[in-house]
Structure 1
């Protein structure tokens, strides 16, 4: 199960809406070994595409160095789908390289940039196997 604060949940959704119609992407880092998502890190979709996301390699290297310096790890890796449901595509699965991370997908297919219905789902992706997990949003 992914337990995430309302503030982080809302920040991920806001990023997905702001970048629509392009896919948004980012990371929520947390203290290494805790599984607690704490630090919201929106990233630039280097592909600038409505159907694909790609972290800029330089930004990603900088992020991993920063997380290493802070004794953090990527707890949540998120991105949005702008025209389809919040479910990992084959490409998403092929790029899922963090076996301990929660892969969050937000679909803005129904709402676009507006306030309105969206999907927020979390998955574990290990060795190509997708397992959906419950999401608990907590105050704090």
Structure 2
């Protein structure tokens, strides 16, 4: 189970809505399975079908998380027009070990859906999200 503060979930959904129709992305830090911080990132691909994080931003975020005593827990992104499940590209590019992947679907913009997964060696496992 992944624990995420309600205000962070709300902020990710707002970021996805604000970035529509493009995918948005970011990183969440914390310890264990509890998220404590959110770092919105630039989707350098500026695409509605995939995302790529800016390496310089990633480096700065990793430094900030280390300074806060946190580790990278979640990589998140939005699916502006498709369900909250990993695409084949998401699965293929899930190369960071031991992180959760959170996907926010805006397929129905009035009712955004956020779901979390573990992806390892091409295997996708759904993970329950508890908002705290």
Runs of 4+ residues over 6 Å off in structure 1: none
TM-score (norm. length: structure 2): 0.92
The root-mean-square deviation of aligned C-alpha atoms, in Å, is 1.3
Kept in 1, the 8 Å contact 2:23–2:50? The answer is yes
**1:18 aligned counterpart, secondary structure:** helix
Name the CA distance, whole Å, in 2 between partners of 1:51 and 1:4: 25
Kept in 2, the 8 Å contact 1:99–1:124? The answer is no
Answer yes or no: is 1:16 the counterpart of 2:10: no
Partner residue in 1 for 2:98: 100
Q: Deviations over 1:6-47 (max 9, x none)?
A: 11111111111110100010011114xx23210111111111
Question: 1:58 Cα shift?
Answer: 1.5
TM-score (norm. length: structure 1): 0.87
Name the CA distance, whole Å, in 2 between partners of 1:87 and 1:35: 20
Name the CA distance, whole Å, in 2 between partners of 1:62 and 1:3: 24
Name the CA distance, whole Å, in 2 between partners of 1:40 and 1:127: 26
Partner residue in 1 for 2:122: 128
**2:39 aligned counterpart, secondary structure:** strand
Listed as ranges, the matches of 1:1-140 within 5 Å are 1-31=1-31, 34-111=32-109, 116-138=110-132
Number of residue equivalences: 132
Name the CA distance, whole Å, in 1 between partners of 2:67 and 2:9: 25
Kept in 2, the 8 Å contact 1:21–1:50? The answer is yes
Gaps (5+ residues) in structure 2?
none
